[in-house]
Structure formats: C-alpha cells, structure tokens
Structure 1
Amino acid sequence: MSFPSACCNTPPVVANYTTTGEYGKLGDLDCYFAGTKGSKRGLLISYDIFGLHPNVLQLCDILGSLGFYVVLPDLLRGTLPTLADLANPEKRRDFIQNAGSWDASKPAFIEGLKCLRNSGATSVGLIGFCWGAMLVVRALGELEGFVGGAMIHPSMITSEDLTKVGAPLMALLSKDEDKEMFKKGFEGLKAEKSFGAQCHLESFEDMTHGFCAARGDWADPVVSKRASDAIKLQVAFFNDIMPK
C-alpha cells in the first residue's frame, strides 16, 4: 500500500473560488456543507492530502447544485502533510500509521453518515480522492449504511482491500495509478459480488494524478473539461445506485 510517485512530487495548483456552501461542525471537526439540507441523497467526501482546497470545495458545490447534500469534513484537522513529508520514508510511514490511518478517520465517517441521515438523506454515498479514496474503500468494507463509493485517482489501496467492499464501487484513474491492479480487482468485483454490474472502472490516460482535486489546474481548459467529465461520471454513478 503506497502513494503513486506523482502524489509525492506534484504540488497543488493555486486556485481562487468563491464558495456557495457553508462551514460548520461535524462533531468536533470543522466541516464544509453544500447543497440543500433535507435532500434524500447525501454524499460524504474525503479530500486528498491538500485538505479543503478550492477545487474540492467547488466540486462539492457542483454536486450540491445537482440535488445532493454534501458533507466534507476536515479529516486532517488543518494539519496537512507536505510533499517533503511524503518524500521522507519515516514521515510518510508516520502519516500512514497515525493521522492518515483509517482508524483516525473512521469516527468521522460514522458521524458523517449519522449527520446525513438526520438531515433527511435516505441514501448516502462516498467520494474520495487519492489518500481519501483509501478511506472510502475501507468504509465500504467495514461500515454499514453506505450505498456505494467513488474513488478518484486513488492511492494506498491494495487488491485485498477491493475484495472486501460491500457496495458498488467506481474508480476513475489517471495515467499514474496501477492500472493492472485495479483492472484485476474490478474484474473480481464484477464476477464475485451481487452488485458487480454496478461497479465501474475508467482511466483518464491524458490526465495526471490529482487532476480532479487539488492538483488540477482548472484554469487550463483541457484539465477543466476532463475534471468536468469525471464529475459527470460520478453523478451518473450515484444516479444509478441512489433513488431520486
């Protein structure tokens, strides 16, 4: 289980965006909320290691405008690993085992599900980027109540993790992820799981790791279009597994 090399040496873009959602709390975590509270369809989003980046906030607002109620918790509590940290084996290991571990974020997923249910959501899905995609897979393997999850340019995921998911899963890869591992993993899901037909794997071979989150230069029309394409696929996936 590791980060792709592109994850450890590519900085986030500088982006300016005026949000339309609101900030609040999820338990003791700072949190961003987007969309209409009371929507029957909820989404809990786990960001990449660059935290509450404007691109991710904008993505939340887009999903909120399409009828989802979106919760984005600040899982790393504002203390983010740097690229230098990720390039250092000891510091990277410390992040993976502590602040970046599933155990550290699991309570937020439980609280996020409860929050969305209490807000009126009858179905709740998950979206995760890079490191956050690992949390999505672990949640679908250990927790009940989520109808499915989408992972975008995922990292820190093993083939064994994929065998444990208990709900439909989508993966959108860039050119930098382990295509063969994900291909075999999704072939297994389609063959062995009752929900296999709803699983979806797609590669954006013209995009680098992080294009749909903090590392995407959305001022570039090509990157912006491909990020929009990825968002459309996420919406289509959740429209398929969530009743409106």
Structure 2
Amino acid sequence: MSGFNKACCTRTPVGTSQSVPVSKIADLDVYVAGNTSAKRGVILVYDIFGLYPQTLKGADRLSEHLDAVTLVPDFLRGAQADPSWFPMDNQEKKEAFGKFFTDHASLEKNTEKLLEVVAEAKTKYPSVEKWAVVGLCWGGKLAALVSGENTPFAASGQAHPSFLAPDDVKNMTIPHIVLASGEESKEEIAAYKEVLEAKKDIPSEIDLYDTQVHGWMGARADFNDEENKKEFERGYKQVAYFFGKFL
C-alpha cells in the first residue's frame, strides 16, 4: 500500500480481537470507557486489527487519566485485518490485504464516518464540552485528516502513524501530538515534525519511543514484555497530558 508503514506489513498482532459490550453511535458498534457524564471526551481510532484488548485498555487509560468518556468505534464493522496476512511476504497475502483495504478501510469513507460519530456523540454525551481524537497507525491518518478547518475536535494525535503526509499538517488548525516508534521512517517523521513545528500558532508535540516496535500502543502491544508494558502506559499518559491542556 502506497504510504503504508512498512513495519505494519511485517508484524502480527499479539493475542486476538474480542467481543466487548458496545453502544451504537452513527450505526457503529462503539466500546465506551470511562465517565459518561464527563466534561471531556476522546475518540480512539484503532489500528487495522479492530477491537483488540490492548487498544481497549488504552481507551481505559485515557479515561482514567483525563476523567473522560473515551469511545472506540468499530469502523471496520468486524472485518478487521486477518493476522495470517502478516508478514505480508507473498502476492496472495498482499492481494487479500489490498481487497480488505479497498472494501473496509477506505480513508475517505472512514474519515466521513468519524465526523458522523463525533456529531452523534455530542448529542449522546451532552456533558462533554470538548472532544479530542487520537489514532493508531491507520487510525492516526484519520485523526490527521479531521484536524483541519471547522474541525469538531479541540486536539488530535497519532501513535506509530502510517500515511504520514506533511500536507496534512499544513491544513491543521488544532493542537496535535505524534508518538513514533523506532520502526517508523526517521526521514518521514523529521519532515512531519519540521512542518508541524513551523505552525507557530498551533501547539504540537512529537516524541520518539525508539525502543518500541510499530504498534506498541495497539494490537501489537506485548504486555509480557516489561519494557513494552511500561512504554505503553507512558504513551497513553503522555497523550492524556497533552489533551488535558486543551480539553
């Protein structure tokens, strides 16, 4: 996939996705964490593996650190990427992934859906005064794309991002945080950082977790690895602290 992080095509997720209690928002199943009467709200856009327990724990952590309601919508509608496609080392796997992406993971359609989710969430959780959005890998691109003019969000962010494009930054109008792993392209991160930091009117933060693999805050998080577990917790705390300044 053009622009897709190469590291994302090599590692399998840890564990399996799971069925969880959900609410319905904008015709999507949504995992809801935290205080539904909170003044702060966060939408966490998962990676291409869907509702993995590690990602849901990340939502729980954001809620705890911010005293917020955190939503994890099932944008892929249960059709998450098949772990057997990874590593993507033959044509059959590449074709299967390409079809999945076309059928379920369209950036344009899911960006529109994300805006529908936050619009309905404002009605469903009227106590929330401001919303933020953070995405993992593929989800990070969605977060970047909804950060422009007339955005409904007060802040946004990405962890172990894919499809990084400095042009996305040029359109941003809200504070933005990026947490990169040691497996992201350092050249792409540097280019993104240069454009982001040049926007003097928008607070931003870019940090490198260079000991971590792509996916350490999502489905590829390995809690049996003490370093990964520690950096997972630190990552969500850092995102929450950044968001807390603007929510």
Give the deviation of 1:3 after TM superposition. 2.0
Counting matched residue pairs gives 238
Shift of 1:133: 0.5
Mapped contact 1:98–1:104 kept (Cα < 8 A): no
Residues 14-40 of structure 1 deviation map (CA, whole Å, 9 limit, x = unaligned): 279997xx4111122111001111211
Encode CA deviations 1:42-94: one digit per residue, 9 max, x unaligned.
00111001100000111111222230111110000001223528834444444
- Equivalent residue runs for 1:67-106 within 5 Å: 67-83=67-83, 84=85, 87=88, 88-106=93-111
1:18 to 1:144, Cα distance in 2 relative to 1, 3 A: closer
Distance 1:23 1:133 in 2: 22
Aligned position for 2:24: 25
CA separation in 2, counterparts of 1:163 and 1:178?
20
8 Å CA contact retained: 1:4, 1:155: yes
* Contact 2:156/2:176, CA 8 A, preserved across alignment: yes
SS at match of 1:208: coil
1:227 equivalent in alignment to 2:236: no
Residue 209 (structure 1) aligned with residue 214 (structure 2): yes
1:37-56 correspondence runs (5 A): 37-56=36-55
- Contact between 1:41 and 1:123, CA under 8 Å: does it hold in 2? yes
Q: 1:176 touches 1:208 (CA, 8 Å); kept in 2?
A: yes
In structure 1, C-alpha distance between the alignment counterparts of 2:18 and 2:59, rounded to whole Å? 12
Give the SS at the match of 1:113.
Answer: helix
4+ residue segments displaced more than 6 Å: 15-19
CA distance in 1, matches of 2:234, 2:16: 19
- Output the CA distance in 2 between the equivalents of 1:91 and 1:142: 36
After TM superposition, the structure 1 = structure 2 runs for residues 168-207 of structure 1, keeping only pairs within 5 Å, are 168-195=175-202, 198-207=203-212
- For structure 2, which runs of at least 5 residues remain unmatched after alignment? none
* Structure 1 equivalent of residue 131 of structure 2: 124
Contact 1:85 1:91 in 2 (8 A): no
Does the C-alpha gap of structure 1 residues 100 and 209 become closer, same or farther in structure 2, counting only changes over 3 Å? same
1:156–1:16 Cα change, 3 Å: closer
Contact 1:71 1:112 in 2 (8 A): no
Alignment TM-score, normalising by the size of structure 2? 0.88
Q: Output one character per residue of 1:168-215: Cα deviation in whole Å (capped at 9) or x when no partner.
A: 1110000111222222222222223411xx200000111110011110
1:128–1:136 CA contact under 8 A, matched in 2: yes
- Which residue identity lines up with residue 103 of structure 1 in the other structure? E
Backbone CA RMSD of aligned residues: 2.3
Percent same amino acid at aligned positions? 28
Tell me the secondary structure at the aligned position of residue 59 of structure 1.
helix
Separation in 2 of the partners of 1:17 and 1:230? 23
Contact 1:86–1:92 at 8 Å: present in 2 too?
no
Q: Could you say which residue in structure 2 is the equivalent of 1:160?
A: 167
Structure 2 CA distance, aligned partners of 1:178 and 1:160?
Answer: 17
**Alpha-carbon distance change, 186 to 16 in structure 1, aligned in 2, over 3 angstroms:** closer
* TM-score, structure 1 as length reference: 0.89
Quickly say closer, same or farther: Cα 1:145–1:2, change in 2 above 3 A. Answer: same
Provide the secondary structure at the position in 2 that maps to 1:224. helix
CA distance in structure 2 between the partners assigned to 1:138 and 1:98 by the alignment: 20
1:136 aligns with 2:135: no
**One-letter code of the match for 1:215?**
R
